[in-house]
Amino acid sequence: MAGGRRASLQLPSVSALLLLCIFSSSWGHAVAKFDPANMTALQKHVSFFDRNKDGIITPTETFEGFVAVGCEIAFSTAAATTVHTALALKTTPAGTPPPYLNIYVENIHKAIHGGDTGVYDAKGRFVPQEFEGIFRKYAKIRRDALTYPEIEFMLAANLDPLDPTSVAPQVEWGLIYTLASDWLGFLHKDDIRGIYDGSVFTKLEEKRKPFSDM
């Protein structure tokens, strides 16, 4: 690869109790209130994992979404656990009884984590000038793509040492780089744009369909 390396993705192990929670379908939940026709970029980003498009992402749906883009079963299981542990409570509407296992698309802006690049505003809307700023600041080899070392430098520059969730982008970017970078080690601008509106996930799923149908 030119100026890059494949990302090493590591997630915490999953206990039997958490596995039970992930694959349980018996939990109730609040009614989702969001407008699918007027979603923010951040809502579109997470909606790929809302497999039945009801505005509520269950741990099982997140697991299915990771598998759909090409992740292994073990990684998908651990990722679903990690994501829902971090985001479910933050996005659950007030007054919803526990357990807090699901992610609500309408409230995903409440879970914006530390270390964010600023491409989402506080409401989860896409900020074009911040997106272009990524390439002005960090794209040194090609102006329309990033290598993994450049991504690492960007993540380090945005790391918030006081916010433990600021490590989340390392896994997110590492995953997309691993799945979507070209054979020379470049993650292209259109795929990076697709991270923010979720279209890169759809692209990866469509790319895998001929193989999954075999």
pLDDT tens, residue by residue, 64-89: 999 999 999 999 998 898 889 889 99
Does residue 36 carry a pLDDT above 60?
yes
Confidence band for 113, pLDDT divided at 50, 70 and 90: confident
Q: Give the whole-angstrom CA distance, residue 212 versus residue 89.
A: 34
Q: What pLDDT shows up at residue 38?
A: 87
Tell me, what's the pLDDT at 66? Answer: 94
The C-alpha atoms of residue 10 and residue 171 are separated, in whole angstroms, by 8
- The pLDDT score that the predictor gives to residue 20 is 44
Tokens representing residue 172 in the block: 């997110």
pTM confidence score: 0.81
Q: Give the Cα separation of 40 and 72 in Å (integer).
A: 29
User: Confidence band (pLDDT; 50, 70, 90) for 95?
Assistant: confident
Asked whether the predicted pLDDT for residue 98 surpasses 90, the reply is: no
What pLDDT does residue 208 have? 83
Q: Is the pLDDT of residue 29 over 60?
A: no
CA-CA distances (angstroms) from residue 198 to 74, 195, 213?
22, 5, 23
